[in-house]
Structure 1
Amino acid sequence: MGIKTKITIDDIDTNFNISSLKETLDGNSDTVYILDENYILKIYEDSYFKIEHEEKVLNLCKELKVPKVIHKFNIKGKNAIIFNKAIGQSLKIANKNHLFQIATFLKNFHNITKNKSFNTSYSYDKKYLENLIKQSKNEYFEKWYLNLDVKLKNDGIIHGDLFIDNAMFYEDKLSCVFDFSDSCSGDFLFDLAVVALSWCQTIDDIKVLINYYDKSLDLNIFLEYVKYASLFYCAKRVTENRSFDDIDYFKKFQ
């Protein structure tokens, strides 16, 4: 987590003048800096496709509350983007008003990205999950996986990582949803399940969330997606040597 590529102001493209540079702990895979308290600099550590995908998604949903691309350049041999910095801060715990706003955002986002795709595989599919579980060497995850009943669909482009710290609120109103670098083609209910996993504290909260997103959703079917999302991110965190207790479905909701 945090800074992987150390830079100074002198490393910033001279076409974009700034006077201050601050490191952050944001991002698990990419490097993030705050520039002049008004901009966000994101350095993509992994591949070209992440920046390509994020830019494509942001252009698709530019009318929604998402970051605006200000400048693109190369820094120390890596792709980088400067975004405008939204006002507000991320939540620690969401209430019903916050759940309404994020459910509405995701519904609008999915309406825009429905039937659209990337020329890459679905990053959250069962094959990838199976590989994560094998890497984790965790018997608990293996048993959990065998009891799952989820058939993932390809509905369109999803965010995939809409944890509560990837959104900001100002005066209790959603001001920005960000970090679309792991977006891919996938199942909309998986996308919503990640929100349920991170933003909801109880099953009743999940009921509220799905009611705002789509009243016709069956709770029991959706909970299987939440279990899948939980297992996916638990296994992922173990492979990254990170704690997963806060997103373990059975510890959080049972």
Structure 2
Amino acid sequence: MSQPFIEARNIGKQYGQDIILENVTTTVEEGEFITLVGASGCGKSTFLKMILGTEQPSSGELLLNGEPMPNEPGPDRGIVFQQYSVFPHMTVLENVVAAKGFQKASLTGYLFGNEKRQARQEAAEMLTQVGLSHALNRYPHELSGGMKQRLAIAQAVICKPRILLLDEPFGALDPGIRADMHRLILDLWRTHKLTIFMVTHDLKEGFYLGTRLWVFDKLRHDPHAPNAYGASITYDLPVDATQDSLYQEIDDQLRPTKSTTMTADLTERPT
């Protein structure tokens, strides 16, 4: 039996007396696209940060190729946030070249000579892939929200990560632009053979983009101590084999304030 690419063994995460995650156990094969949904504060972004290396489990093990996940970020793991992580004083091209330079084991990450020319060529090619070839010399303040997010994705993918982490990357975009970004991220996933983890609050987005959907929720609740128990993965579903009734059950679970007497329009559900 082959070794999983990523494995979580009974992971727990706690901040003081507040328990965020508990008993998270799962495996992921290289090349999968996992979408994570759940209520705000249930630990989805915390799990992403553990993969990135900026947070560590309080208990249990998180393994990459059978070894402990590195406890600091590295070029093998790229991340894109909802808020655009770009440098406002640099052009679009310079932003992507800078991301490439930060891979260097130096204090500044500056590139010179042939190395810089090669990085600029790679950056221009990446920007073409994400649809920004016409904006190489623009500054971030001259870009729309969708263009800024394309730039942030180019910064992450230029470093050739094996794992791409997306923390609600499209939440601030309008529906039309989000559809374009969906096509872009699916194309990059296939082209670069990435393993992707994406946090989203949009269940339809989760089912449309991923190969597997994880629902994070608490199995135990104490109304007098709401942070006494942590969330775990309550559903782990292949997105192409989920019945409409289960889809509706998860949707109602994620949006408990919605009247359960209202029937969702499942005819719009992506297939």
Question: TM-score, length-normalised on structure 1?
Answer: 0.27
Return the index of the structure with the highest Cα Rg: 2
Higher strand share: 2
Quick check: which one's helix share is greater? 1
